Structure 1
């Protein structure tokens, strides 16, 4: 399965504060998990089996919780039993479908 998630603290004393330290704590947990993952400006996507993916997301959420009294968590999952390598496989298929002249 692939799960894209975004986790951030909320409800702190400074509404203009950056959340990069909290997000960095979450991403460090994801990267240390050893599961295939990718982080972009909006989400971190992680690939693995149900139990291992959600364990990592739980630990990342707990880490973010240390930065504020509330945590916002957004999840989107692609559950496709029997498939692996989809973190890059889906993108590879998209690029092939676009063809070599897609950037023009």
Structure 2
């Protein structure tokens, strides 16, 4: 499964970067395949290990304030692995095919 999540403290002022850094540190130390962008962190693994990482990331953020906001989205596909990169590879291939069909002069 892939879990994309965003976690941040509430009521701690304008900047949440230190709290988010603590959450991302939890993710990176987990050993699960992961990717962080400007809005979400995605992890890939089994249900229990993904949810454990999300829980620990929330706890890390919670140490920065008394309220935590969590947004979570999951793609649950039993038996599939390597999808964190595989989904992107298939998307890029589809874009290349479409460009070939509608490329310059067509």
User: Same fold by TM-score, threshold 0.5 exceeded?
Assistant: yes
What is the CA–CA distance in structure 2 between the aligned matches of 1:82 and 1:33, rounded to whole Å? 21
Aligned to 1:62: 59
More helix by share: 2
Matching of residue 87 in structure 1 with residue 73 in structure 2:
no
Aligned to 1:3: 3
Larger Rg: 2
Number of corresponding residues: 100
Question: Which of 15, 22, 26 is 2:23 aligned to?
Answer: 26
What is the CA–CA distance in structure 2 between the aligned matches of 1:77 and 1:59, rounded to whole Å? 17
Offset at 1:11? 2.1
State the Cα RMSD in Å: 1.5
Unaligned runs of 5+ in 1: none
- Structure 2 length as normaliser, TM-score? 0.90
1:99 match: secondary structure: helix
Residues 21-44 of structure 1 deviation map (CA, whole Å, 9 limit, x = unaligned): 000000000000000000000000
1:87 match: secondary structure: helix
Offset at 1:69? 1.1
Structure 1: 4+ residue segments shifted above 2 A: none
- Structure 1 length as normaliser, TM-score? 0.91
